[in-house]
Structures are given as structure tokens and as C-alpha cells.
Structure 1
Amino acid sequence: MKIIYRYLLVELIQPFLFGVFAFTSIFVGTDVLISLAKMMSQYGVPLLTIVKLFFLSLPQVIVLTFPMSMLLATLLSFGRLSGDSEVIALKAGGISFIKIVTPVLIVGLLISGLTIFFDNSLVPASLNTYEEIVWKLKHGTVRPKTQKNLVISPVDSQTGKLDYILTADKYDGNTQMLEGVTWQDYEDGKLVTSIQAKKAEWLEEEWVFIDGTIYTITDNGQVPQTTFKRFNMKSNLDRTPTQITRNQKEPEEMTLSELSEHIELMEEEGRDVKELKVVYHQRYAVPFACFIFALVGAPLGLQPNRSGSSIGLGLSIIVIFIYYTLMTIGSSMGEGGSIAPWLGAWIQNIIFTIVGVGLMYKASR
């Protein structure tokens, strides 16, 4: 049995690697190279930098091709086995179709896990570096970590009312400094304290307000004032510089933990995060398509007249088109609130799983 499984895995790995190379070449040729060529002509980018940008763009492209390549590999390998009557021979030897397809499903699951790992580590790091280089090429300076007109207004999770409002004219991520700061503290939805400061610095893991005035709103309407040179906010202001800077990142540039924390902070501020939640769940759903496509591709590859590589490639394109069409529809519905964000991200996997199980049942009879 081990020899048979090893034989099936060899049959699967070769077309999978071919699929990764083929689909990567298509994406690179139709998108990456065109973008780099325009950049080279417009900004006079040195060839060495272009090569560096090319390799930095590859991780995101390669990860995107894993599900497609898994589908193509499953269709081609099982199409060949079926065309050469090897599946019939295995069944005649007492090996059921479920046992034949088991190692393929395991490989699909492993590649799904590998895709999630790469998408959570290598891809965000490479995208960050890519964007920093491109920014410097276009603007001549390092990518700024500044944010103007910053507003943070979280809601108290226990009362459901406004906790505090922090506004700043500017946040400089390089110096970790807020300029033109106003802090308003609320208790049970009622304003109790207001602080205005010239600036605030992140020192020793806390925000320190500098050169400002504290206004305390009393029950009888009086507003006594206290000026200060330095005032430690301690745990009152719970946003770190990293969390503030993260607002400038695209979701693709964040790791899953960063994106999850970002969504939580946005929810605290009462922001609409349905789109971000769909993106978060898709970071799991799309890699899991490697397993789903193995589930669908194995029985499809056994169908008559499916042994040709050109037919297998054509069928894989059709399946991929249907998959991403369903994903687009589900994402739109999840972002619009018609369905839950997690369902919008996973709906195409759910549909394809049902289809795959049905095809597997039919093939095993």
C-alpha cells in the first residue's frame, strides 16, 4: 500500500509543480512585468532594483497559484490514471476509490496549511518591503509613517457608551509623537475631563502629554483648569504607536494576528469592519481551496475523455472561474451585510465541498 501511495504522490507532485510554474508565469507576464516595465521607464529605476522588486512580488503570486495548481494536478494525475486504466486495476486489486484518493486529500490539506503559513509570514513581509521601495522611488524619500487628523473614539465594552475621544493634528510614526492633541474622557457617556496639549510622546511604554491644560467638568457646571509641563496618561490611552501606524497598512500587508487586532480596534471605535472581516476570513478560506479542489478534482479526473492534458487545463480554468465568481458574489454580500462576513468568505468553499462530496460518492459506487 505504501508503494501505491508513493506512486500516486509522484503522479500528483509533478503536475502540481508544473501548475505553479505555469500559473505564476501567466500572472507575472500579464501583471508584474508590465508594472515593473512602466516603473523602469517612468522613474529610471536601476535594473538591480527591478530584479529585487520582481522577487519581492513573487511570494504573493505563488501563494495565489497553489489552489489552482492543486486542482490542475489532481485533474491531470487522475485523468492519466483513468485513461491508462490504472484506477480500474487498483480497484480490481481490492483498493477502493476512497483509499486511492486519501493521500491526495492529505496533500491538499498540507498545502492548504503551507499556504496559510506563507500568507501569514512571507507575503506581508515581502509586500511591506516592496511598497517601501516603490514609495522611495516615486517620492525620493522613505515611506512616511505619519497620519494627519487622527481620531480615536473607542466604545466601552461594558456600558456600550463612548469611552474617550483622542484627536491629533498629526501623528509622526518615526518619532512616535502626536501633535496638537486633545483628549476627552467620558464616564457613562458624560464628558468629565478634557485635556489639550501641544504634543504627546511615547516614552517608556506610555503616552506622555507635554505643555497642556486639564479641564475637569464638575456636576455643577464649573470647569477648573490645571496647566502642566508633563502629564503621564498611563493606562488611560491604550493605543500603542504600532496600533496607530497600522491604520496606514493595507490588509494584505498585515499578518493574521495584526489584522485581527486591527479589526478589534476598529470595532471599538464604532467603524464598519464588515469588509475587513471578509478579508480576514478569506485569508483562511482561499488557501483551504487546495483541499477543496483536490476533493473536486479527483472524481472529475475520472470522467470519460478527461485524460488529455489540454482538456484537464481547460476544465481547471472553468472550475477556477466558477469558484472565483462565487467568491466575488459571496464577498460582496458579506461586505454589504446581506450575510455574515465569515459566510461571505467561505460560501464558495461550502458549495464546492457539497459538490465534491457528491462527486466522491458517485465515483466510489
Structure 2
Amino acid sequence: MLFLGTFFICLFIFMMQFLWKYVDELVGKGLEMEVLVQFFFYSAVSLVPASLPLAVLLASLITFGNFGERYELLAMKAAGISLLKIMRPLIVFIAFVCGISFYFQNVIGPKAEVKLWTLLISMKQKSPELDIPEGVFYDAIDGYNLYVKKKNRETGVLYNVMIYNFSDGFENAHIIVADSGKLEMTADKKHLFLHLYHGEMFENLKAQSMSAENVPYRRETFREKHTIIEFNSDFSMVDASIMSNQSRSKDMKKLQASVDSMTAISDSVGRSYYREVNNIGTYRLTPSLTKQDTVKMQAENPRGYNVDSLFQSSTLMQKQRIISSASSTVGNLANDWNFKSFNIKQNDQDIRKHQTEWHNKITLSLACLIFFFIGAPLGGIIRKGGLGMPVIASVLIFIIYYIINNTGYKMARDGNWVVWMGMWTSTAVLAPLGAFLTYKSNNDSVVLNADAYVDWFKKVAGIRSVRHMFRKEVIIVDPDYERIVGDLEKLSADCQAYAQKKKLTKAPNYFTLWMVNKNDHEIEQLNDRMEALVDELSNTRSIVLLNQLNNYPLIPVHAHVRPFDIYWLNILAGLFVPVGLFFYFRIWAFRIRLQKDIDKIIKTSEEITTIIKNNK
């Protein structure tokens, strides 16, 4: 039910987008309800394959997001059921959806496309519904311009009417001005019956000579005048054969047959053009020479004659005629080969359109399966159901798919890429993404956990959290304050000795920093001792003592030493001076901060010791 709901939502969105492209050409034509119902039905059927991938993506995101949000996915995994086993029934269902998508594209889609575009062309060609506005010129009637200052919508009477009739040409316009009038449609809806009252008509009469200065005209005053204007407002369906050569109106078998046929035609025409080029002889540019002159020149020079010398020996009139003839011949050849080149390019473009449509029927069907393997694991990772986060994620992923798919399609259609490469680009990009997300979700990875990335950024930038200690409602074991006082004094003494030994505020040696492979275990032990004391003192009932515990810093024990655990990576970072200097100054800054933390530990330990002794 969720999939059906998302499918109809996606189908409605695609239908609105399709309708928005043609709404200006369809509005105001008085189309019957039956025609509109057919238009919406065929557009919906043709958009089913495009709606299915987005519906699968959105439904899988919501389903597995709900599983994760309600901890159902966690319960199933805890019971030993892997994500792939959970997805297995849905994989079978999505495979069935892929089959439906392919069936719609290969069988139902071509028939729906023929019906839809035949209907759409017929709707475009229909004349608009007659509705003459007030105060502006109305030119929807072919060959006429009408102006009405005011009209009575109840009676249909028009007032202060002005009509320009350009049926005989702009120079011979008929101009009619009337006080009032009325416009009616004939019963066959092919003519307009115009009634005019109390007006004048003016028209130019055709002049007998084009050079005549005065053109006669005719002026007529009338009390009542009736005329018929041709205006076919009836809806007529165009012949469906106009879509027979379109790639969208064919199934895969017909597409392949059309590609083979057009390829054979292109090869045959190309070979004939090649033979024609090779058979073009040398054009003779000496039409003024007689046959005897030509025979004599060939006898004197059996290898041929020099065209340049013949041209130089000609008279000025002959030279002009020769150049004119050559120019005309070259122009005719250029026009002829440009036309032939256009035919070849047009045929190649038709072949690419058929090939892209052939591949599109497969890739669009596989998109349902790929989107499922993206949406299901992604929903399990983000663990958010409903129509909030899943809708945002699905829209972003579909936009990326749409951009990649359209780019590949246009590159393949225009011949910039190989057809199969352009049409399969989106699949090649999104299929590894689906496999990666499925693998990460199956292994409970935190690849899309925002907290993990926030913690990593804080670690890199040196931003640390603040300690927050709260009073416990139930305390099972009270702290051993007498022992803790001694432990705090010893911790302070060890911290002071560590600071004097390490000299943390002093700049470290650049060579030793990268070459010496030794960890700082002392600070790790000091930090563990401090955290153990803080954990034991957190059981205290004293609010003052709890507030004082919050002053203990959270120490990153590895920030002041080499950045990498692998020895050769540290060597490489030190040798690459820009990177090495960055880490060098970063480590120095963390050493200085560590010195401040140690001073704070000593000070806080002394204050806690004083509080314990005063409240013994």
C-alpha cells in the first residue's frame, strides 16, 4: 500500500510537469471532456515507467526508515537475520516491478505514445474557442483583426466594432466600422455568422497598373450587414501514421529492425557518394577551343595541356566566361554536397535516436532495482521514517540520477559519446553506490551517522567537549574520601613531574618528532587515573564537589604526538615539508594546551582535596 501511494504521488507530479509544458497551447480551445480524459489517460500510461523508479526509491526509504526508527530492524538483526535476508522478499517484488516497467515500455508504452502525441497534435491544431476580449485587437481568427470596445455578456451584443479583413492582402484590407453587432457560430462549427448594424465599410480596389499613382477605393454605408467568416472550431483527429517513424512508437524488435534498415541505407548511400566523387572527371575550362585545336594541342603534348597557359592565352571575354562557369560549377557542387551531407547526418541522427530508445527501455527498468538497493539500506542507515527525511533524500538522489541520465542521453543522441556508453552512464554510477550502501548497512556501518562526522571534525580541529556531572538519584557505593585524598595528592605530584620532564611549552625537535617511534604512555596512565577518580567521586552527594569535578579537562592523549600510527607515514609526512610543518605546529599547539590541562588538573585536585578535608 505504501508503494502504491508513493507511485500515484510520483505519477501525479510527472503528469503535472508534462501538462505544464503544453498548457498554453491547450487552454481556451473548448475541448470536450472526452478528449481531455483521453489526454490524461494516455499521458499517465506513458509516464508509468518514469514514475516507478522514484516510487521504489521513496517507498523503500520510508519502509526501512520506519523499521530503523522503531528499532524493528535492530531486533531482526539481533535475532541473527541479516539485512539481505530481510530484503529478500522485497527483491523478488522489485524484480516483478522491473518486469512491469519493461512491459509498459516495450508493449504498452509505444501504443500509448502514438495515441498521446496524435491527440496532442490534434489539440494543438484545433482553433481556439471564440472569446473576443474588450478594448484590445483580437487576431485568433485567421485573416481578421477585431476590436470591440464593449460587449454585453448576457445578450452577446458587441458595441463599437472595428474589423480589419486581410484576406485579400495587407494592401487591399477591408475595414468595417459599426455601432453594434453580434457574432454567432454556425451549426457545423465551421463558420462564423457576423451581424453588423449602422456602420461603414472601406476597401481599396486593385489598381490596373503597378505604377498607378491613384488607387481607386470603395466606400459603403449600411444600416444592416451580414457576412460569413470561415472558422473551423471543430475537433478533428489527425492521422496516426505521422508517428509511425518516431522511435517512441516502436518496441525493441521494431527499433532494432529500423536501426538495421537505416544503417544499410546509410552504407549504400555513402558508397554511392564515394563512387560519385571518384568518378568526377576534370572539368574543362576552355569551352572556346575547337575540336581541331584540342587535337592539335594533344598531339603536341600527349601528356596533356597546361590549363594555366590556356587560360592566359584566352581573351578577356573568354577569361570572364571561364571564371563565371567555374564559379557556378563549384557553387552547384557545394550545394549538392551540402544537401547530401545533411541527408547523411539526418539519417545518422535517426539511427542514434532509435538506439538510445532501445537502451533506454532496459536502463529505465533496471533503475527500479538500483533505486531499491539505494533506498532500502539508506533507510536502515538514517533510521528516519515518514515523509520528512526520506522525501528529501529521495529527491536529492533522483535529481543526481536525472542529471547524469540526461547528460548521457544528450551526449549519445548528439553523437559525442558512444550510444551504449551515454545511456548506461547513470547505471554505472548508481549501481556501485547501491552496492556500497547495502554493504555498509549490512555491517551496521556509521557511514551516514552525522555524529561520527561531527566527532571526527572536532578531533581534527581540536574542539573538545565539556564535562557534565549530575547528581545521581540512587547511590549504591559512597566514595572512599580518605583514600581519594591521597590519590589526588599523588596525581598532582605525578602531573607536576610529567610537566617538568616533558617541557611541553618548548618547541619539539622536528627530526625527532618524525623519526622516533615511541608513544607517550605516561599521559595515558595519568588520564586513566584521573578518570577513575572522577568516576568514583561522581557518587558523591555534595553538589559543590560535583560542580568542581566538571573542571577536570577531557584530554586527547594522542594529539600532542605523531599524527599516524604507521611509522613510514610519519616519515613521509615529515619529508613532505608543507604537510610536515602543518602537523608540526598543530602538535606544538596541542602540547601547549596539554600543559594548561595539567595545570588545571593540579589546581582542581587541590580544590577538591580542600573541600573533602573541610567537610570530613
- State the TM-score, normalizing by the size of structure 2: 0.39
Q: Give runs of aligned pairs for residues 244-263 of structure 1, distance below 5 A.
A: 248-263=244-259
- CA offsets 1:113-137 (integer angstroms, 9 cap, x no match): 1101011122211221233334445
Aligned partner of residue 399 in structure 2, secondary structure? helix
Q: Is this contact kept in 1: 2:64–2:383, CA < 8 A?
A: no
Cα deviation for residue 92 of structure 1 reads 1.4
Q: Look up the equivalent residue of 2:116 and give its one-letter code.
A: Y
Alpha-carbon distance in structure 2 between the residues aligned to 1:327 and 1:75: 22
Partner residue, 2:173: none
CA distance 1:317–1:48, shift in 2 (3 Å): same
Alpha-carbon distance in structure 2 between the residues aligned to 1:63 and 1:115: 5
Residue 322 (structure 1) aligned to one of 400, 425, 438? 400
Partner residue, 1:355: 433
Q: Can you give the 5+ residue segments of structure 2 that lack an aligned partner in the other structure?
A: 127-234, 267-346, 444-616
CA distance 1:307–1:134, shift in 2 (3 Å): closer
Partner residue, 1:25: 12
Q: Is this contact kept in 2: 1:279–1:345, CA < 8 A?
A: no
Partner residue, 1:331: 409
Cα deviation for residue 51 of structure 1 reads 1.4
Cα deviation for residue 44 of structure 1 reads 2.4
Cα deviation for residue 141 of structure 1 reads 5.4
Partner residue, 1:86: 72
RMSD of aligned residue pairs (Cα, Å): 2.3
The number of residues matched between the two structures is: 252
Alpha-carbon distance in structure 2 between the residues aligned to 1:93 and 1:48: 57
Structure with the bigger percentage of strand: 1
Q: Can you give the 5+ residue segments of structure 1 that lack an aligned partner in the other structure?
A: 1-13, 146-172, 174-244
1:46 aligns with 2:32: yes
Partner residue, 1:264: 260
Cα deviation for residue 36 of structure 1 reads 5.8
Q: Say which one has the larger Rg.
A: 2
Alpha-carbon distance in structure 1 between the residues aligned to 2:239 and 2:38: 21
CA distance 1:141–1:25, shift in 2 (3 Å): closer
Residue 113 (structure 1) aligned to one of 83, 96, 99? 99
Cα deviation for residue 364 of structure 1 reads 1.5
Instruction: Point out which structure has higher relative CO (alpha carbons under 8 A, 6+ apart).
Output: 1
Identical columns (%): 23
Cα deviation for residue 338 of structure 1 reads 4.5
Alpha-carbon distance in structure 2 between the residues aligned to 1:48 and 1:265: 39
Q: Give runs of aligned pairs for residues 118-267 of structure 1, distance below 5 A.
A: 118-137=104-123, 138=125, 142-144=237-239, 248-267=244-263
Alpha-carbon distance in structure 1 between the residues aligned to 2:256 and 2:8: 32
Q: Is this contact kept in 1: 2:373–2:434, CA < 8 A?
A: yes
CA distance 1:293–1:51, shift in 2 (3 Å): same
Cα deviation for residue 39 of structure 1 reads 1.9
Q: Give runs of aligned pairs for residues 1-40 of structure 1, distance below 5 A.
A: 14-32=1-19, 35=22, 38-40=25-27
Alpha-carbon distance in structure 2 between the residues aligned to 1:255 and 1:294: 26
Q: Look up the equivalent residue of 1:98 and give its one-letter code.
A: L
Aligned partner of residue 277 in structure 1, secondary structure? helix
Cα deviation for residue 279 of structure 1 reads 2.2
Larger mean Cα displacement after TM superposition, 86-95 or 120-129: 120-129
Cα deviation for residue 352 of structure 1 reads 0.9
Alpha-carbon distance in structure 1 between the residues aligned to 2:117 and 2:83: 48
Cα deviation for residue 38 of structure 1 reads 4.2
Partner residue, 1:285: 363
Cα deviation for residue 28 of structure 1 reads 2.3
Alpha-carbon distance in structure 2 between the residues aligned to 1:294 and 1:123: 23
Aligned partner of residue 44 in structure 1, secondary structure? coil
Cα deviation for residue 25 of structure 1 reads 1.6
Q: Look up the equivalent residue of 1:350 and give its one-letter code.
A: A
- State the TM-score, normalizing by the size of structure 1: 0.64
- CA offsets 1:35-78 (integer angstroms, 9 cap, x no match): 3674251x322122111221121101222100100000110000
Alpha-carbon distance in structure 2 between the residues aligned to 1:114 and 1:58: 15
Alpha-carbon distance in structure 2 between the residues aligned to 1:302 and 1:130: 40
